[in-house]
Amino acid sequence: MIKYLFSGVLLLGLWVSTALAQSFPEDADFYVNDYADLLTDSQEEDLRIILDELYTQRGIEFTVLTITRMSDYGHTGSIESFATDLFNTWGIGNAERNDGLLLLVSHLDRKLRIEVGAGYGNTLNDPMARVIDTKIVPNFRLDEYADGIRSGVEEVIYQVAGVTPGAYDASPWYQAWIRVGRFLTDLGFLLILPFAAAVPFVVRFIRRIRRNRPRICPNDGAQMRRYLEETEDDSLSPGQLMEEQLESVDYDVWYCNSCDHLTIEGYRAWFSRYGACRECGFRTVEGDSRVVKSATYSSTGLRETDYSCHHCDAQYTITSTIPKRKRSTSSSSSGSRGGGRSSGGGASGNW
């Protein structure tokens, strides 16, 4: 009996010490700590770029953490309690605004959580649940961890900052356009069909009003006319024709009947993957970028983008620097965490 009691106490003691032995993964990097190794170096860099953009533009600290399993850290409870405790131990986000964000993926537990700072209250619980259900879990189920994390992060950024990565400085028009597009997408594909069918007409209508106002010839003050699409091609240069073909720029050609004066007006597309070519200047260049050397805490990294032009056939590579990685627990003030806390808001999912 005494023996059993003794071993019982021993077991209890063991259990208590295991429970007390809960630890947390090392908070080494400010933006991405990929302990489960679900991301390549290059995918990590790409994430750091958009997370750093959010931090620089809006001061919001958003960090991504992947672990193999929670029990590696002595945790046997729920992912919710693990995430909240970890969030508060790391001190994610500004301490006054409490606006930090954590995406935690526990690979072999097949569980994930987006934990949000106390400053958001419960306002983000539903949006984060939607991000998990629509952007992350469908990818995770296909073992597409990098895609799930990337699109989840982008969507969280959109939910908290109202912008898509890279569009912080975009014109209000462009941002409004993104919002409309996203709104329609959110309504669901079938529901948007009638809207989608109407969009080109609406766009054309607005464009027509803007583009149809009468032009006056600068030479003789006569009213100018606009060529039809079919006949304007003779007046456009090969570069302009290529831009029209790639739909990066749309041209109108106005002519004066009395003096043959021509005015060419270009309208840049709202969405186009073509940029301005370094050689010929037309918006006919396409870029493909890759990380050549990942940044470390002590040295910068290198990214190369290969550009090729559809008009002048120019091929060139532009090398850009990837900033050094930020330590989150460094003694230097820049890049160390803000000391924010969470009161358990957010959402969880499994796959």
Positions that interact with Zn ion (CB under 5 A)? 217, 219-220, 222, 256, 258-259, 261, 277, 279-280, 309, 311-312, 314
Which among 47, 18, 36 has a CA at the least distance from the CA of 111?
A: 36
Q: Are 344 and 121 in contact (CB under 8 A)?
A: no
CB 214, min distance to Zn ion, A: 13
Q: What is the closest distance, in whole angstroms, from the C-beta atom of residue 305 to Zn ion in the complex?
A: 15
- Alpha carbon 306 to its chain centroid, in Å, reads 22
Least CB distance to Zn ion at residue 105 (A): 43
Q: What is the largest CA-CA distance in the chain?
A: 116
* Shortest Å, Cβ 260 to Zn ion: 7
Read off the tokens for 312.
Answer: 């002048």
Q: Whose Cβ is closer to Zn ion: residue 40's or residue 245's?
A: 245
Shortest CB 212 distance to Zn ion, Å: 19
Cβ proximity to Zn ion, 184 vs 314, nearer residue: 314
By beta-carbon proximity to Zn ion, the closer residue of 7 and 219 is: 219
Given the complex with Zn ion, which of 79 and 309 has the nearer CB atom? 309
Strands of the chain (E only): list them: 32-34, 62-67, 101-106, 111-116, 225-226, 249-255, 262-268, 285-293, 301-309, 315-322, 345-350
Least spacing, CB of residue 120 vs Zn ion, in Å: 47
Dist. CA 185–CA 191, nearest whole Å: 9
| Cα 299 to Cα 284: distance, rounded to the nearest angstrom | 35
The smaller minimum CB distance to Zn ion, of residues 239 and 346, is found at 239
Least Å distance, CB 251 to Zn ion, is 17
Beta strands 111-116 and 101-106: pairing type?
antiparallel
Residue closer to Zn ion, measured from CB, 263 or 343: 263
The residue among 104 and 256 lying less far from Zn ion, judged by its C-beta, is: 256
Question: What is the spatial distance between Cα 156 and Cα 1, in angstroms, rounded to a whole number?
Answer: 58
Which residue shows structure tokens 């429970």? Answer: 19
Q: Between β-strands 101-106 and 62-67, what pairing exists: parallel, antiparallel or unpaired?
A: parallel
Minimum Å gap between C-beta 245 and Zn ion is 14
The crossing angle, in degrees rounded to 10, of helices 172-187 and 189-212 is 150
Q: Which CB, 76 or 258, lies closer to Zn ion?
A: 258
Q: How far is CA 264 from CA 155, 224, 255, 270, in A?
A: 40, 12, 9, 19
- Closer by beta carbon to Zn ion, 193 or else 259: 259
Beta strands 301-309; 62-67: pairing state:
unpaired
Amino acid in the structure at residue 95: A
Cβ at position 287, least distance to Zn ion in Å = 12
Residue type, 175: Q
Residue 73: Cβ-neighbour burial (10 angstroms; 0-12, 13-18, 19+): middle
